[in-house]
Structure 1
């Protein structure tokens, strides 16, 4: 059985990342028409966390310190533009995300940086490993961005209505 040419894997992963970025832009633009809730803030990183299952495959595994560096780069560097372009406003007692003209440009810029870094990193590690590292970087970025969104949301909502009440 033949193997897949690494060039095809690189092209496929770049096109996949471009597709995902465009989907995120589309979803974010549609989401600004609906009120923000805690659930809508928390679910994306929870859903994304299932991607860590890829590390079951030995070819994807990386040293722990590489993973930590990727996560911290996502947390401290790549989340910053998303945080800067995210804001909320209240309308009729509900909280909405404001549309940012620069949000799409930020996501496309992050995709460009990812692609350029991918070119450099692929010289030293395998394509599955670089995919795993970029997943961890993206996870760090998304988690930090969503923590920021959660904190901002909580400051805008009265404390008695921010979380559903628990019945004894």
Structure 2
């Protein structure tokens, strides 16, 4: 079995996290030019939920209380700025996510807080377990944000999808 130095794993995870944050910013900016629909709202949490397969590997498993705590921190704390910065607008019978200048800074702030927390948590648990804790936190954040978006979308279009002009 190949042994990888934990320091390299940490650097790789940090670089990957920064790349994902930058991608999220660009995707969000690009998405503001296209109408949103239910599929675009619910697909990210569904896609991300496949990450729970990592818990098949014993080294990645964490106690249920740790997982629940990290999920709830994501749900109640990390999702709040995203929810506050997400607004919809209707243009020609279609719903668009309004561009928010604050979104870029919110993502950078969440990234910075996450990186600081990562350094603290990693001192007490293994790197694979740290990954589990922060994945669960990110899933709680994304799920709450997207459920909020879905409820806001349904308020604008209670019958389903908008009609084309």
What TM-score do the two structures reach when normalised by structure 2?
0.95
Where in structure 2 are the equivalents of 1:5-154 lying within 5 Å? Answer: 5-154=5-154
Gaps of 5+ in 2: none
SS of residue matched to 1:55: helix
C-alpha deviation, 1:2, in angstroms: 5.5
- The 1-side partners of 2:160 and 2:149 are apart by 17
C-alpha deviation, 1:28, in angstroms: 0.5
- The 2-side partners of 1:50 and 1:119 are apart by 26
SS of residue matched to 1:160: coil
In the TM superposition, what whole-angstrom CA distance separates every residue of 1:91-142 from its partner, at most 9, and x where no partner exists?
0000000000010111111111111001101111011100011000000000
Contact 2:85 2:100 in 1 (8 A): yes
- The 1-side partners of 2:114 and 2:73 are apart by 12
C-alpha deviation, 1:162, in angstroms: 4.0
SS of residue matched to 1:124: coil
- The 2-side partners of 1:145 and 1:40 are apart by 13
C-alpha deviation, 1:5, in angstroms: 1.6
- The 2-side partners of 1:102 and 1:77 are apart by 17
- The 1-side partners of 2:151 and 2:14 are apart by 33
Gaps of 5+ in 1: 164-168
- The 1-side partners of 2:25 and 2:116 are apart by 21
- The 2-side partners of 1:155 and 1:2 are apart by 53
C-alpha deviation, 1:61, in angstroms: 0.2
In the TM superposition, what whole-angstrom CA distance separates every residue of 1:58-77 from its partner, at most 9, and x where no partner exists?
00000001000000000000
- The 2-side partners of 1:5 and 1:119 are apart by 17
- The 2-side partners of 1:160 and 1:137 are apart by 33
Q: Tell me the C-alpha RMSD between the 2 structures.
A: 1.2
Where in structure 2 are the equivalents of 1:150-165 lying within 5 Å? Answer: 150-157=150-157, 159-162=158-161
